Amino acid sequence: MPVYLVVVIAAACLFFSWWSARRHQPFRTSDLVRRGGISLALLSILVGPSIPGEAQKVTTNVEVWLAIDRTGSMAAEDWDGSKPRLDGVRHDVETILTAAPGARYRIVTWDSEADTGLPLTTDLGAVRSFMSTLTHEVSSTSRGSSPDRPAAYLAEEMQAAAKKHPENTRVLFVFTDGETSNSDAWRGVGAGESDDWKKVQPELSGGLVIGYGTEKGGRMKVSALGQENSKTPEYIKDYSQAGTPDAISKIDVAKLNQIASQLGVDMVRSPSDSAIRDAASSSVSNARNIADSRDMIQTSRYILWPSALVLTVLMAWEAAIFAGRVHALRRTRAI
């Protein structure tokens, strides 16, 4: 608050205190002192007296990249029983956020192509909001599954990020079932090459490949616009089989291990909370630099309790005087 404004308010408070005291006859100096003190105590609290201090400002330089498969196979209902695999992804992302709350996060998703779903951010609320609305691709536009499809995009984006922020370290979590399907639909789209993951590895300081699904597999609900709340869900059919039964998606453990090997990270199968939590916390803590800066910054600590204590005593005094005068007035009228 500007000094001149403090002076003006203080003068006004003292004037009204003097004027209030002068109204009562006989004039009592104690009234002026008491009410002036109340005004000054309130002004002191308003101004906010403080003492100088220091605080540590910590900014993490760890970028956590989340690469999420949202092809149709991630709708398969075999995660943790019979839940959709994307439910498992949401659960595991939350585990990572809890284990590494101070990191920067970026989300890359892929279906027929790879793209950035959420740019780099420290806002965990934004990450959670994105994950809560994430769905698998619309079935009618699906071009099949290819776990290698995002690799080239990730390599290109990470290389660009490294040039822009060379001081940062990058950790990658890949969420996929590893399944390759419907390769005849890839023409003109690009499935990516297995070796593309090797181009990502030099940019990483850690990470994890998280696999979804079971060897038995699960059925996949059709995703269509306007049918999110349908009471009679339709399942994707396998037209390559006689009688077109429901299509079954199965985890490809060998492919997941191959991706993990090329990235130089481990592979775990979800659900595996402890392994995912440990990987998230260790990847962040083992990064080359945990913080861009740990600068001591000047700050102030407000000291309000002395003024509040004085105000309490003066208000109690004022209340006692007021009660006494009211009692005396009643006795006078009674007589």
At residue 183, the pLDDT reads 53
> How far is residue 76's CA from residue 131's CA, in Å, rounded to a whole number?
18
Mean pLDDT value across residues 195-202: 92
Name the burial class of residue 283, with classes exposed (0-12), middle (13-18) and buried (19+) by CB atoms within 10 angstroms of its CB. buried
Residue, of 101 and 145, whose pLDDT is higher: 101
At residue 266, the pLDDT reads 93
CB 64 within 8 A of CB 168: no
The string of pLDDT tens digits covering residues 126-170 is 999 999 999 887 755 556 678 999 999 999 999 999 999 888 889
pLDDT band at 294 (very low <50, low <70, confident <90, very high): very low
Query: Can you list the domains of the chain with their CATH numbers?
Result: 3-49+303-334 (no CATH), 58-293 (3.40.50.410)
The string of pLDDT tens digits covering residues 177-196 is 998 875 554 444 455 677 89
pLDDT at position 228 over 60: no
Residue, of 174 and 304, whose pLDDT is higher: 174
Which of 157-171, 223-237, 246-260 is predicted with the least confidence, judged by mean pLDDT? 223-237
At residue 290, the pLDDT reads 44
Calculate what percentage of the chain has a pLDDT beyond 70: 69
Task: Name 25's Cβ contacts closer than 8 Å, sequence gap at least 6.
Answer: none
> How far is residue 185's CA from residue 111's CA, in Å, rounded to a whole number?
12
**Quick one: which H or E segment has residue 22?**
helix 3-23
Q: Which amino acid is at 320?
A: A
Q: How many CA atoms lie within 13 A of 46 on its CB side?
A: 15
Q: What is residue 61's three-state secondary structure? A: coil
Tell me the backbone φ, ψ of residue 43, rounded to 5 degrees.
-65, -40
Q: Around Cβ 284, how many Cβ atoms within 10 Å?
A: 22
